[in-house]
Copies of this chain bind each other. A is one copy, B any other.
Amino acid sequence: MTEMNLVQAINSALRGALREDENVLLMGEDIGTLGGVFRVTQGLREEFGPDRVLDTPLSETGILGTAIGMALHGLRPVSEIQFADFIYPGFDQLVSEAAKYRYRTAGEFHVPMVVRTPYGGGIRGGQYHSQSPEALFIHTPGLKVVCPSNPYDAKGLLLEAIEDDDPVIFFEPKRVYRAVKMDVPDTTYRVPLGEGKVVRAGEQVTCLAWGAMLYEAFSAAEEVAKEGVDVEVIDLRTLWPLDIETITSSVKKTGRLVIVHEAPRTCGFGGELVALITERAFLHLEAPPVRVTGWDTPFPLTHEREYLPLVHRIAPVLLETARY
């Protein structure tokens, strides 16, 4: 066990994967000599050499396109996209190629790759260093989407994602990178994909969140507990394929659902969650499922704490929903 923040835990996962499987390799902009702009890959080029930790030219198309080729050969490339906001130049390779390769070859070829990318706001990054584009990938059949909230899960989920035989988009909450510390095993343990986690049991409202907003949801739950409202908070951890069981049974119990995410509201993952749960637990619902989300604007700078669905926006919604 070592106390680690999120950056260290991810670094530890990458180091473990590089040690245990010679097919694993890392690639991305500035990840080698510099160790990544967030230092997530610090020390790895030194330990594993430039053939396993590749500093690439400035091209997300190149990074993701060549990673697919490597994965088709049987390597397990882990690419870093410097900010999720910069994944779009390589979007075509992900949705047209990585996502569809298995299906279009009836399993004869597949693409075991991981795309790590820091996402989300709260670091004064403005429009292009704050986005949360998870919904675009959840909408793309063939991709898995993971978003850990804490160091322990991050390490275990990343190791699992690297072992996974399908392409996984791994969103890292950059706001949490250095903000949270916890004991993390030094082994290469796994956290399975597709399992959410009840981080706070409660009876009256189910609150779903992931990544950086998990903390806000949790704090809001604690806050409203003072007013006697008992909220169950679930950390989705894997966004897709979703842990539908855990969520549905929670809502069947509470009858009330609040979803928190940073991404713009419209056509965000929150809408899908509302629809899924409404389909499955309609007769259990005692209040309309509601979403506390980023607004439908580009991500702003000065007012980023007004844009984000922080405690002060979540708590009142939990109350309203509980008292509906």
| Given A272-B271, A282-B288, A289-B275; A127-B139 close (CB under 8 Å) | no
| Given A88-B91, A141-B297, A298-B99; A279-B272 close (CB under 8 Å) | no
Q: Is the CB of B142 within 8 A of A298?
A: yes
Residues of A at under 8 Å CB distance from B? 85, 88-89, 91-92, 95-96, 99-100, 103-104, 127-128, 135-136, 138-142, 240, 263-264, 266-276, 278-279, 282, 285, 287-291, 295-298
> Smallest CB-CB separation from A88: which chain B residue?
B92
**How many monomers of this chain does the complex have?**
2
Closest Cβ–Cβ distance, residue A210 to chain B (whole Å): 14
**CA A95 – CA B298 in complex, angstroms?**
10
Q: Is the CB of B298 within 8 A of A288?
A: no
Apart from A138-B266, A141-B264, A271-B274, what are 16 other A-B pairs with CB-CB below 8 Å?
A: A89-B92, A100-B127, A138-B267, A140-B264, A141-B266, A141-B296, A267-B267, A267-B269, A270-B275, A271-B273, A271-B275, A274-B274, A278-B289, A279-B290, A282-B287, A282-B288
A298: which B residues are within 8 A, CB to CB? 99-100, 103-104, 141-142
| 20 A–B contacts from the bound complex (CB under 8 Å) | A88-B96, A100-B127, A103-B298, A104-B127, A104-B298, A136-B139, A139-B264, A139-B268, A141-B295, A141-B296, A266-B272, A267-B272, A271-B274, A274-B274, A275-B289, A275-B291, A278-B288, A279-B288, A279-B289, A282-B287
Q: Is the CB of B289 within 8 A of A266?
A: no
Closest Cβ–Cβ distance, residue A317 to chain B (whole Å): 11
Closest Cβ–Cβ distance, residue A319 to chain B (whole Å): 17
A128: which B residues are within 8 A, CB to CB? 96
Most buried by B among A104, A267, A289: A267
| Given A266-B272, A272-B271, A298-B142; A95-B88 close (CB under 8 Å) | yes
> Smallest CB-CB separation from A100: which chain B residue?
B298
Closest Cβ–Cβ distance, residue A33 to chain B (whole Å): 27
A278: which B residues are within 8 A, CB to CB? 274, 278, 288-289
Closest Cβ–Cβ distance, residue A96 to chain B (whole Å): 6
A100: which B residues are within 8 A, CB to CB? 127, 298
**CA A163 – CA B138 in complex, angstroms?**
34
6 shortest interchain CB distances as A-B pairs: A282-B288, A88-B92, A139-B267, A274-B275, A271-B272, A271-B275
> Smallest CB-CB separation from A104: which chain B residue?
B127
**CA A135 – CA B139 in complex, angstroms?**
8
Closest Cβ–Cβ distance, residue A304 to chain B (whole Å): 14
